[in-house]
Amino acid sequence: MATYNLALIGFGGVNRALAELVSRKNAALEKEVGLRLNIVAVSDLHYGSVVSPNGIDPRALTETRFSKGGFASLSGGRSDADNERVIKEAPADIVVEATFTDRVNGEPAITHCRWAIEAGRHVVTTNKGPVAFAARELKLLAAAHGVGLEYEGSVMSGTPVIRFAKRTLLGSGLNGFEGILNGTSNFILGKMEAGLTFDAALREAQELGLAEADPTADVEGHDVRLKVVILANELLGAEFSPRDVVCKGISHLTPAALSVAAGEGKRWKLIGSAKRDERGKIHASVEPRSIPLVHPLAGVNGATNAISFQTELLGSVTVTGPGAGRTETAYALISDIIAIHQANIGATKPCKEAA
C-alpha cells in the first residue's frame, strides 16, 4: 500500500473538497486502489500556510472556521501564504495546484507547477492556466524530472474526458471534437429558449450561484476557449495558445433568434470545437451554433457539459456529465493521483510503503 503526501496550493472550494474526500474516502481508496492520502502542507493567499510533516488532520482543516491568516493557529502554521517554501520544502510527493485560473498568462500557477516539478514532486491541477499556456513546457520538464503531471479537472471537472480520449479512444482515429464546455452559458441559453431575455437569464444564473458577479469569462466564451486549447493541443497535437482560437460568446443572442431556431427544429448552443482537416491542419473555434435537434449535443440541458469526439472508426462518441462543482472537481484530482499511482507502480521513483 502506498501513501502519498500532498501539498495543497490554494484552499478554496476545490482543495477544501479534496481535504473532505481525504477524510471520507481514504479507507475506500486503500481498499480499491491500494493508496492512502496524507495532507502535509497547505498554502493559501487568504488563510496562510501550514506544514506538518506527520500530516494535518483533514477534518481539522475542513471543519474549523479559519479567519484570514487563520492557519497560524495550527501547529506548523503561519498567517501568510508561502507557496515557494511549501512547494519546495514540504515533504510532499504530490503538489495539488488549485489556485485561481489566470486567463491572460496562466501565472502564478505555471510557476507553482515549475517549482514543484523541479523539486521532484508530481503535480496534479484543476487550473486551466498552466495547461492552456504551458502544457508543452511543463510536460517536458516533468519528463526530465521523472514525475507525473495530470490535469483531468481542467476540462469538465471530474467527468472523464482527457484520459478517456487519450487512452480509451486510442487507435480510433480521433480527428475532432465539439463540446458544450460551460454550464453557465448552457443554463442561460436554456432559460432564453423558455422566453427570458439574456439579462434576465443571467440574473437567474447569478441568483443560483451558477454565474459569477462578473460573468464575462463564461458568457463571452473565454473559459471555453482555454478548454478548447487544452483539448486541441492534448488530443489533436495542435500547438495553440488561447489567442489563436476565434472566440464568440452568447451575449448578443436574442430570444427571437432562439425561437426562429426552434421553428426550424434547431437549438442554439455555445460550442467549443476543433477539427483536423484532410491536409492535417487543425481549426478551432468557440461560437454559438444553431444545431439540429438530432445532434448529440442538442439535448444537453441546464448546467451539464458534454463533448462529442469525432472518430474514424466509431463515428461520434459523446461523454456527458458535470463540468463544475467542488466535489466533482476534487474527484478529478483523485483520479489524477490514481493515474500517477498506477504509472508509478513498479517505477523507480519511490513512494512511501506502509506496513
Contact positions vs ligand NAP (CB under 6 A): 9-14, 43-46, 81, 83, 98-101, 108, 126-128, 153, 157, 324-326, 329
Q: Smallest distance, Å, CB 334 to ligand NAP?
A: 14
From CA 209, how far away is CA 226, in angstroms rounded? 22
Residue 201 cell numbers, joined = 437569464
CB of 120 to ligand NAP, least distance (A): 21
- For the CB of residue 17, give the shortest distance to ligand NAP in the complex, in Å: 8
Which residue in the shown chain puts its C-beta closest to ligand NAP?
A: 12
SS3 42: strand
Which position has the grid cell 513546457? 137
* CA neighbours closer than 13 Å in the CB half-sphere of residue 327: 6
Beta strand ranges found along the chain (DSSP E): 2-9, 35-44, 48-51, 77-78, 94-97, 122-125, 149-150, 174-180, 246-247, 266-276, 282-292, 305-311, 315-321, 352-353
Between 158 and 176, CB nearer to ligand NAP: 158
Catalytic position from the list 128, 191, 227, 269: 227
Beta carbon nearer to ligand NAP, 85 or 283? 85
> Toward ligand NAP, which CB reaches closer, 173 or 302?
302
Cβ proximity to ligand NAP: between 8 and 236 the closer is: 8
The yes-or-no answer on residue 227 being catalytic is yes
> Torsion over CA of 224, 228, 234 and 238, rounded to 10 degrees?
-150
The residue written with cell numbers 482515429 in the block is 173
Shortest distance in whole angstroms from residue 270 CB to ligand NAP: 17
* Residues noted as catalytic: 227
